[in-house]
Amino acid sequence: MRKLYPLKFKPIFKDKVWGGQRLHKLFGKDFSPLPNCGESWEISGVKGNVSLVQNGFLEDNNLQELIEVYMGDLVGEKVFGQFGDTFPLLVKFLDTNDYLSIQVHPDDKLARERYKSKGKSEMWYVVHADPGAEIIAGFKHDVDPDTYLHHLENNTLKEILNVEEARPGDVFYIPAGRIHAIGSGITLCEIQQTSDITFRVYDWDRPGQDGKLRELHTDEALNALDFKSLPEYKTLYREETNGSAPLVDCPYFTTNLLNFNRKIQSDYFFLDSFVIFVCLEGDFRIVYPGGSEKVKNGEAVVLPAEIKAVELIPDKPCRVLESYIK
């Protein structure tokens, strides 16, 4: 069997009522003939939206087929044992020209009981934010279900939510159960569990693309919501040039920010997992045993688990998200 190599995938573009044009302006993504693009799914194992390989001899094979053939060599023995032929993470870029709905996602237990699915915990890295752009994450203070429903019924829900001004480089971890929304004028990278279950809490009384109000999931959301507040919702981190800054370390994935302007060596002998690189700024080459692969701004790549050491060589200063499963 031929050896694996760093895999890039064809983006899956999603037309959204709140989508914009910045994925083309920032990353050169061609989502025509769509009028706008709200989401670009870079790596997906979601049923009905499984990514196709873009590069190398495996071009046009889908990700699920690759896992069936290469198994642990691709995703890691432990990961394959846990998830089988489903790739466990979904990586996407989002671009907002309007507020997304206020929503919440179920945890693994609720999703398994109700939908025979995984839950959905996710993280955001803000790439671009217009001045004054807002992100909603969590409640401002602890609330009880009755208080929450009172504000929901009176269209005053935003009054009890934690609203933050978004800035480039901001990171938010959104575990299952946390109420959240992305405001207008934001482009971000999202890394999440492979699940597409969303409970829509409030949609700003706007029509969907068919001209009708979209369905709300009030009862489902009540069962999923965590009503407790936190003193801080934004992830605090210290970025280091030619170093790695830890961002998120949760049961579902670990993500670090790599900032480098010279060649760096990355070793993964301690991992039994694939590694995902998402290029947020700059361009670089992955040099691995047997070859190299160019990664451009706005691209994501999967490094197979069997490749344990690579060099990352920048063509210009780079910021790259590095994600894997422990």
d(CA 308, CA 10): 25
Q: Work out the average pLDDT over 41-58.
A: 97
DSSP letter for each residue of 227-255: ----S--BPP----TTEEEEEEE-SS-EE
Q: Which fold has domain 243-324?
A: Jelly Rolls (2.60.120)
The 10s digit of each residue's pLDDT in 250-273 is: 999 999 999 999 999 999 999 999
pLDDT at 200: 95
The 10s digit of each residue's pLDDT in 83-124 is: 999 999 999 999 999 999 999 999 999 999 888 889 999 999
- Split at pLDDT 50, 70, 90, the class of 314 is very high
With residue 22 as reference, give the H or E element that holds it.
Answer: helix 22-27
Counting every residue written for the chain, the total comes to: 326
pLDDT at 143: 97
pLDDT at 183: 97
pLDDT at 263: 98
Whether 206 shows a pLDDT value over 90: the answer reads no
CA dihedral 69→70→71→74, nearest 10 degrees, is -140
Whether 295 shows a pLDDT value over 90: the answer reads yes
The 10s digit of each residue's pLDDT in 126-148 is: 999 999 999 999 999 999 999 99
Percent of the chain with pLDDT over 70: 100
Whether 210 shows a pLDDT value over 80: the answer reads no
pLDDT at 196: 85
7-203+212-224 against 243-324: fold identical = yes
- Split at pLDDT 50, 70, 90, the class of 214 is confident
Q: Can you give the pTM of this predicted structure?
A: 0.95
- Split at pLDDT 50, 70, 90, the class of 289 is very high
d(CA 301, CA 295): 8
Q: Which is more confidently placed, 17 or 263?
A: 263
Residue boundaries of the structural domains of the chain: 7-203+212-224, 243-324
The CB-side HSE value for 176 (13 A sphere, CA atoms) comes to 23
pLDDT at 145: 97
Whether 205 shows a pLDDT value over 90: the answer reads no
What are the catalytic residues? 200
Largest CA distance in the chain: 62
User: How would CATH label the architecture of 7-203+212-224?
Assistant: Sandwich (2.60)
- Split at pLDDT 50, 70, 90, the class of 236 is very high
Whether 1 shows a pLDDT value over 90: the answer reads no
Whether 169 shows a pLDDT value over 90: the answer reads yes
